[in-house]
A = this chain, B = another copy of it.
Amino acid sequence: MSVAVLAGGVGAARLLKGLVEVVEPARLTVVANVADDIVLHGLHISPDIDTVVYTLAGAIDPERGWGLAGETWQAMEGLRRYGGVDWFNLGDRDLATHLFRTQRLSEGASLAEVTAEIVAAWGLDLRVLPVTEDPLRTMVTVVDEGEIGFQEYFVRRRHDVAVRSVRIDGAERARPAPGVLEAIDGADRLVIAPSNPIVSIGPLLAVPGVREAVVARRDDTVAVSPIIAGAALKGPADRMLAELGHEASVVGIASLYAEIAGTLVIDEADADKAAAVEELGMRCLVRPTVMSRPGVTVSLARAVLGLEG
């Protein structure tokens, strides 16, 4: 079975950990969000791609949920001595990834090429495609401060500020990266990972051609709700949904995804909302989805791919 996954960061990475257990990694394509990429200190940083890669490589720091386990922080400490920009933490080992990516891009490699090189260097067999190689940036308008970059909202402000609107800068002119539409068209199953629908999945769908390609595969598309019992396990998805006028619930997720996905997987904690989800025209699967619990990652992956029982 070939599978394509629309992916953000942490939630997607966890589901992918399960998916690579139940499908051959070589038949798995990740369409990765790059709208939260940031250029800082001259370095091109792709947080979502790195979280996916580090997680699948078993190298992610399990406590923080980002960056590498066993990390050291000499460069950041030095940066603080200079009074440099220090709100975006970069470990010494993690820096290697950004140094390598930036150097390869400066040599003329495409973002897809350098991503493939990074994936291979970690010994992974799956394919990770940036959704686009064109500039795509999530911009967040927050109260008081106006429009700021996504990482300024997410990291610098610790997503602890009300969001008025989200704009995906560059979306009109962005083209899907080579292989993205083919992966969506050709997969036996398309998965929308339990990532933030606004700022992780939203940018993927904002790239012209991607949403249409996903809609065309609606019957084979399964989304996993990132909202469980009204809350996001991690990150600001619940709050952001409410602030932008959506319902912070599996029903709100279903409203957002009904056009593009035939099936929504919701957590057992939301079993009472399955009927409301189905009323929106989606098939609803009720399963354990909290992947920090033993066994859930793989069982969820099997459910998503219709491989249960």
Contacts and interface: CB of A to CB of B under 8 A. Distances in A.
Contacts of A97: 78, 82
A117 B82 contact: yes
A22 interface: no
A292 interface: no
Nearest to A117: B82
A66 B230 CA distance: 56
Given A75-B95, A93-B75, A96-B75, A42 B103 contact: yes
Nearest to A94: B78
A86 to B, nearest CB: 10
Interface centre among A75, A77, A98 (most CB of B within 10 A): A75
Interface in A277-304: none
Contact of A102 (B42, B75, B78, B121): B42
The copy count of this chain in the complex is 2
A108 interface: no
Nearest to A41: B99
A103 B40 contact: yes
A81 interface: yes
A215 to B, nearest CB: 37
Contacts of A105: 42
A232 B99 CA distance: 34
Interface string A176-203: 0000000000000000000000000000
Given A82-B97, A100-B82, A106 B42 contact: yes
A306 interface: no
A41 B100 contact: yes
A301 to B, nearest CB: 28
A83 B122 CA distance: 11
Contacts of A41: 43, 98-100, 102-103, 106
B78 A96 contact: yes
A39 to B, nearest CB: 8
B121 A99 contact: no
Nearest to A68: B78
A108 to B, nearest CB: 14
Given A43-B43, A78-B93, A84 B100 contact: yes
Contacts of A98: 41
A38 to B, nearest CB: 12
B96 A84 contact: yes
11 contacts: A41-B102, A42-B44, A42-B103, A72-B72, A75-B93, A77-B93, A78-B93, A79-B99, A83-B117, A84-B100, A92-B92
Given A43-B102, A74-B74, A84-B100, 7 more contacts: A41-B98, A42-B103, A75-B99, A79-B99, A82-B96, A83-B121, A92-B95
Interface of A: 39-44, 72, 74-79, 81-85, 91-100, 102-106, 117-118, 121
